[in-house]
Amino acid sequence: MTSLSKNWNTDENYWSLHPQMKTIKAFSDLNKRDKSKGKKKSSTMMWAIALYIDPNEQNPWKNTNPLDRMKLIAEDYLNDPEFPWEDPDIQLLIDTYKEFSITVAERALLQIETKIADRAKFLDNTSYSMDTYNDESGKVEKGTADQLDKMMVNTVKIYQQLEQVKEMLDKESIEGHGKGGAIESASEQGLI
């Protein structure tokens, strides 16, 4: 899988390893606002975003449930369980990273994985109930059993879609295509 973030040593300063990211306005602004020594705060923020978004094979969080990933990164990497992921400034950085740093297929994978996690949580939290007759109103109150069963049947289709996106990513990787379908150079592919 392609990624602008090539080196994943989170002990290193993100900006030193990925200076090209400062050419993107949202990231450049973050970097310029950071007055900490060695731009450590903004570097840590960029690593957190990359760890959350990027499906690069070197990303140790890539296989974590997307709904849990933010919480775990906040707790384990940032050491800040109350980290404000929903803050508009942070959302701008996340959206910008998605737009510039991962491919269309990688964005689709992230979207599907997030929806699958949402769906699984919904299914886990919804109990089965049967239709019942309300004597007072004289109406049938719909239960959840039919809907839950239909959702379970559709789960196979959703996982098939996920596999198709993964196949697209594998094809991208094999063909050496970068963002926007650009072909990686021989040096980018590690051939020279």
Domain boundaries, the chain: 9-102, 104-178
Question: Residue 126 pLDDT > 80, yes or no?
Answer: yes
Asked whether 105 and 172 are in contact (CB, 8 A), the reply is yes
Number of neighbours of residue 121 by Cβ within 10 angstroms: 13
pLDDT of 182 reads 52
- Distance CA(35)–CA(157), nearest Å, equals 49
| Residue 39: burial class (beta carbons within 10 Å; 0-12, 13-18, 19+) | buried
**Site of tokens 């060695």:** 38
pTM: 0.70
d(CA 188, CA 179) in angstroms, rounded, equals 13
Percent of the chain with pLDDT over 90: 41
- Cα 31 to chain centroid distance, Å, stands at 22
Q: Is the pLDDT of residue 46 over 60?
A: yes
AA letter at 187: S
Q: pLDDT tens for residues 134-147?
A: 888 888 888 788 88
Q: Is the pLDDT of residue 121 over 70?
A: yes
